[in-house]
Amino acid sequence: MKVTLEPIFHKGSRCIALRFTYSYELKEYLKRFPGVYWSKSLRCFYFFYKEARLIEFTNYLKEGGIIYHKIRKVNNLRKRKGNIVSLGVLNKQKVEVHTEYVDFLKGRRYSKSTVKVYANFIQDFLRFSKDKDVNTLNEDDVRLYIQWAVDKLNYSISTHRQLVSALKLFTHFYPLCSIDMEKINMPTRDRNLPVVLSKDEIIALLQATKNLKHRTALAMLYGSGLRIGELINLELSCFDFNRKQLHIKNAKGRKERYTVIAESCFPLLKNYYATYKPVKYLVENPKGGQYSPSTIRVFLKQSCKLAGITKRVTPHTLRHSFATHLLEHGTDLRYIQELLGHSRPETTMVYTHVTRRDLQAIQSPLDSFKGNEPLPYIEHTKPFLT
């Protein structure tokens, strides 16, 4: 019996597909390994890739007397924006260090998403250093890795900053290495203004979303100013309709807060609950459990296209719009900070730069010419900028 291990990207994650000539005994043996799933779309068994899990699986195959074949070095691929690049293979020492680093992050109570992101950064860094002993890694290795990651993986400034933070935590966790992070610069944060939808665009977006579950999700993102992770984790017990309040638990930074529930969403929520009958979470997977963030992003993109919205819209854009529209209505900035769950007022202050309340009162100097008469229409007979 023979199994081919093929690296794939499935459900937004690196996975290992298991290809083999059908055999009932082999199929049942593979299914017994923890974490092996069947994919209807791919028509194969697979498991989510982790270095330690791959080693355990190959040992499991050896114990069963099964021959396996790896395609393209299954444990050294990295994908970023359509590009697949090759990295080194982790040796036993680095596998152990990486596993302990993940446990270190969990012990410090970092969120699941932070643990996943930081662990991937350090895994790639250890791979990039190839066979070099972890104890001898220094700031030059860090610089070379960061230069490679920014160039080959096209990291943004925010991702670059996350990478440096992950490496700083790694040196704190593993002081035996020779890395001096004081010599590594943290890139300055981008000062981009958030994209905001107008009220008419919000209405058009919700009207274009015909699916009841999808419309409810988007209405809650905007109507309560939620992050996408907060929406996914939102339980039915968090609603207080009498006080029109929503209890947000385990938000960013392990904080809790209260935000508002739009009264206009009450009929929508009642209709949604009667139709879908969610058990625990407001928005649930059809098979039960939490909804997928990628699914929300997909149908949001589709709804924007149907609504004729050409701006680059993400779930966080609805949160930005919520805050901006509150500020335009005259809501005090301190209350907006509380509703959004921002730790620092400086974070909320960014919305003062995008609100139209004060800008609408400012007149362009061009409008003051000739009694504010409209500019004359000129019919072009030649191409513009010839």
To the query of whether residue 11 is one of the catalytic residues in this protein, the response is no
Strand boundaries in the chain, DSSP class E: 2-10, 13-19, 37-39, 44-48, 67-70, 77-80, 83-86, 239-240, 245-248, 257-260
To the query of whether residue 227 is one of the catalytic residues in this protein, the response is yes
Residue 178 main-chain phi, psi, to 5 deg: -105, 25
Asked if residues 355 and 349 have their Cβ atoms less than 8 Å apart, the reply is no
To the query of whether residue 10 is one of the catalytic residues in this protein, the response is no
- Point out the catalytic residue in the list 127, 215, 227, 325: 227
Contacts of 97 (CB under 8 A, 6+ apart): 126, 134, 174
- Point out the catalytic residue in the list 168, 252, 297, 301: 252
- Point out the catalytic residue in the list 94, 214, 319, 325: 319
To the query of whether residue 316 is one of the catalytic residues in this protein, the response is yes
The pair of structure tokens assigned to 163 is 């990478």
- Point out the catalytic residue in the list 29, 110, 222, 351: 351
Cα separation of 205 and 210, whole Å?
10
Cα separation of 96 and 116, whole Å?
17
Cα separation of 333 and 91, whole Å?
52
Contacts of 148 (CB under 8 A, 6+ apart): 128
- Judging by DSSP bridges, how do beta strands 2-10 and 67-70 pair with one another? parallel
Which residues are part of the catalytic machinery? 227, 252, 316, 319, 342, 351
